[in-house]
Amino acid sequence: MLKIRLIPILLLKNGQLIRSEDFSIHQIIGDPIHEVQRFNEWKVDELIYLDITQGEYSFKRRTDHKIKGLETPLDILDEVSKTCFMPLTWGGRIRSFDDAAERFRRGADKITLNQALFETPELATQIARRYGAQAVVASIDVLRHANGSLEVFTNGKTTPTGKDPVEWAKTLESLGVGEILLQSIHCDGKGEGYDTDLISAISSAVKIPVIACGGVGTYDDYAKAINAGASAAAAANIWHFKELSDRNGKRAMQRAGLNIRM
């Protein structure tokens, strides 16, 4: 039986590590290079970096001598991949096959696609044929409207697509993606738990693994995502504000009877 994964997500904006709330409030919290060293020590299952910069870059140069000279997110990927000893997924601004190939050359094990899947759906198929379906993760950002209806958004929270998330997930699976990163915009940064109804709907509609993200407030939330059908539980903010988040999170999942790698 495959073990359930617990995955930290690191968000980058203009070269800075940030925390996010509601996909619109962003707070600088740290350094994207040093963070990977901490996760290495914790022996996390996987690591996901998402560059969520919108529009033109205003890349922030750091004064720390250890990362001086990093001018682009790809420079960060170069540095991260040197010391990342777990599977590394990289997302953000991947619009073409060449963009994806560049990330793989620089050390990514997987790439995530979001907006590009609307612009060039066949891109997922092209990348999967070359690198394998397991290397292509489709990121789906979903907003639950006030009336309870669900809609896929792109460009952060700025562009509604009119797409139903369940039907979109089925389409992505047919294109050859190997995994879905499901993010609930309405839960982001709230600390009130995952949208388990959404997780259940997507997980039951596709055969590929679903990574649930958005809303973790306590370690007990992880098991709720898995019990709703997700193959992996992911989070961002909680990893930055609690020590030993990996150990304590996995212990909570183990207490819930889940098959987790300790």
Would residue 104 count as lying in a domain? yes
Asked if the model's pLDDT at residue 115 lies above 70, the reply is yes
pLDDT tens for residues 218-239? 999 999 999 999 999 999 989 8
CB 25: neighbour CB atoms within 10 A? Answer: 11
CATH code of the domain covering residue 117: 3.20.20.70
pLDDT at 63: 47
Asked if the model's pLDDT at residue 217 lies above 90, the reply is yes
Q: What's the average model confidence in pLDDT over 184-197?
A: 96
What is the domain extent for residue 157? Answer: 5-255
Please give the share of the chain, as a percent, with pLDDT higher than 70.
94
Residue 54 pLDDT class (50, 70, 90 cuts):
confident
Write down the residue that tokens 């995952």 correspond to: 194
Distance CA 198, CA 176 (A): 22
* Structure tokens given for 195: 């949208």
Would residue 260 count as lying in a domain? no
Would residue 210 count as lying in a domain? yes
> How much is the CA Rg of the chain, to the nearest whole Å?
17
- Mean residue pLDDT of the chain comes to 91
Q: Which residue has the higher pLDDT, 57 or 222?
A: 222
Residue 114 pLDDT class (50, 70, 90 cuts):
very high
48 in Cβ contact with 86 (< 8 Å): no
Question: How many domains, in total, are found in the chain?
Answer: 1
* Structure tokens given for 241: 């504000």
Distance CA 135, CA 132 (A): 6
pLDDT at 30: 79
Would residue 27 count as lying in a domain? yes
Residue 161: which residues within 8 A CB-CB, separation 6 or more?
118, 151, 152, 153, 154, 168
Q: What's the average model confidence in pLDDT over 65-74?
A: 66
**Torsion over CA: 158, 59, 106, 98 (sign):** positive
pTM for this predicted structure: 0.94
Would residue 262 count as lying in a domain? no
Would residue 13 count as lying in a domain? yes
pLDDT at 40: 82
Would residue 135 count as lying in a domain? yes
pLDDT winner (highest mean) among 28-32, 55-59, 156-160, 195-199? 195-199
Residue 48: which residues within 8 A CB-CB, separation 6 or more?
7, 8, 9, 10, 88, 89, 90, 91, 112, 181, 234
pLDDT at 67: 52
Would residue 208 count as lying in a domain? yes
Residue 65 pLDDT class (50, 70, 90 cuts):
very low
